[in-house]
């Protein structure tokens, strides 16, 4: 298990190499890299140009929350390796925000666990986002779509 919250960028290739180095049990590695997009999506259309995004967090508690989310994934799926790297601070369009990587003997478990981690990070991790737009700054509110995506993992029958 590895969970990090940092201001610095990360090298995806180097992170994945460290994660899998010497672990021949891994048969599938699922990876998600989140980037700052330059347009906010509303009603299915790209609107509201975003110049930068500032992510604030609660030091200590944020890492604890990420570790709790990662531990829940390990309870649900047979995982041999997990990595969550989440950045904070001011980021501009195109910069990396988050890396989630999950290694398992089986690809299905890796895919599902990666999706679970990303969905729960969006709704349960204590990060606050401030968008800078040409019209000014605004705090990002939670989105119903994110809540719906996370709720699907609460349904009976999900591993």
Domain limits, the chain? 2-153
Strands 89-92 and 81-87: unpaired
CATH 3.40.50.1980 fits 2-153, yes or no: no
Please give the model's pTM, rounded to 2 decimal places.
0.89
pLDDT of residue 146: 76
In the chain, % helix, strand, coil (3-state, to 5) comes to 35, 35, 30
pLDDT of residue 94: 92
- How many angstroms separate the CA atoms of 124 and 136, rounded? 27
Burial class (CB in 10 A: 0-12, 13-18, 19+), 83: buried
| Per-residue pLDDT of the chain in tens (159 residues, 90 and over written 9) | 699 999 999 999 999 999 999 999 999 999 999 999 886 555 554 567 888 999 999 999 999 999 999 999 999 999 999 999 999 999 998 999 999 999 999 999 999 999 999 999 988 899 999 988 888 898 988 777 878 878 888 864 454
């Amino acid at each position: 298990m590895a969970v990090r919250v940092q201001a610095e960028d990360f090298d995806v290739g180097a992170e994945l190499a460290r994660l899998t180095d010497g672990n021949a049990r891994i048969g599938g590695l699922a990876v998600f890299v989140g980037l700052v997009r330059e347009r906010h999506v509303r009603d299915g259309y790209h609107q509201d140009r975003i110049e930068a995004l500032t992510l604030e967090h609660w030091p200590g508690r944020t890492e604890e929350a990420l570790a709790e989310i990662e531990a829940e994934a390990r309870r649900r799926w047979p995982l041999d390796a997990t990595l969550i790297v989440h950045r904070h601070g001011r980021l501009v369009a195109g910069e990396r925000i988050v890396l989630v990587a999950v290694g398992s003997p089986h690809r299905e478990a890796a895919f599902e666990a990666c999706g679970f981690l990303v969905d729960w990070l969006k709704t349960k991790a204590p990060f606050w986002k401030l968008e800078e737009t040409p019209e000014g700054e605004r705090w990002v509110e939670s989105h119903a779509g994110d809540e719906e995506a996370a709720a699907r993992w609460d349904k009976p029958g999900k591993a």
